Amino acid sequence: MKEIIDLIDRKVRPVLNLYHGDISRIQVTPEGIVKIGLTGPFSRCPSSQQTLAEFIEAVIKTECPQIKDVFLDCEVSQDLISEALGILRKGRQQSYA
């Protein structure tokens, strides 16, 4: 697990940080599956998630051939929930005016 975290810190996080994104969690299973949660704009955009999944998977599998697969954990982030609530509240306030 430490090898994966170090690799992500060196090669993946800097790219995500350029776009105000980051990784919220990393899980490595004994079977060689890596699950990654994203934050920032990447947590809300399905097309960027696909691109990132391919990029992250390529980086990890190139340096850690024991890893069989990489998945993005696409839970709904708290950021997205807060953003949606803000939009809904603003819409209600405007409809009352």
Q: Give the chain as a 3 state SS string.
A: CHHHHHHHHHHHHHHHHHCCCEEEEEEECCCCEEEEEEEHHHHCCHHHHHHHHHHHHHHHHHHCCCCCEEEEECCCCHHHHHHHHHHHHHHHHHHHC
Q: Quick one: pLDDT at residue 96?
A: 55
Place of tokens 């950021």: 79
Q: Quick one: pLDDT at residue 30?
A: 93
* 57/92: higher pLDDT: 57
Question: Cβ(22)–Cβ(39) under 8 Å?
Answer: yes
Question: Cβ(46)–Cβ(29) under 8 Å?
Answer: no
Domains and CATH numbers, the chain: 2-96 (3.30.300.130)
The pTM of this model reads 0.68
d(CA 67, CA 49): 19
* 83/45: higher pLDDT: 83
- Residue 77 φ then ψ, to 5°: -80, 155
Q: Quick one: pLDDT at residue 32?
A: 93
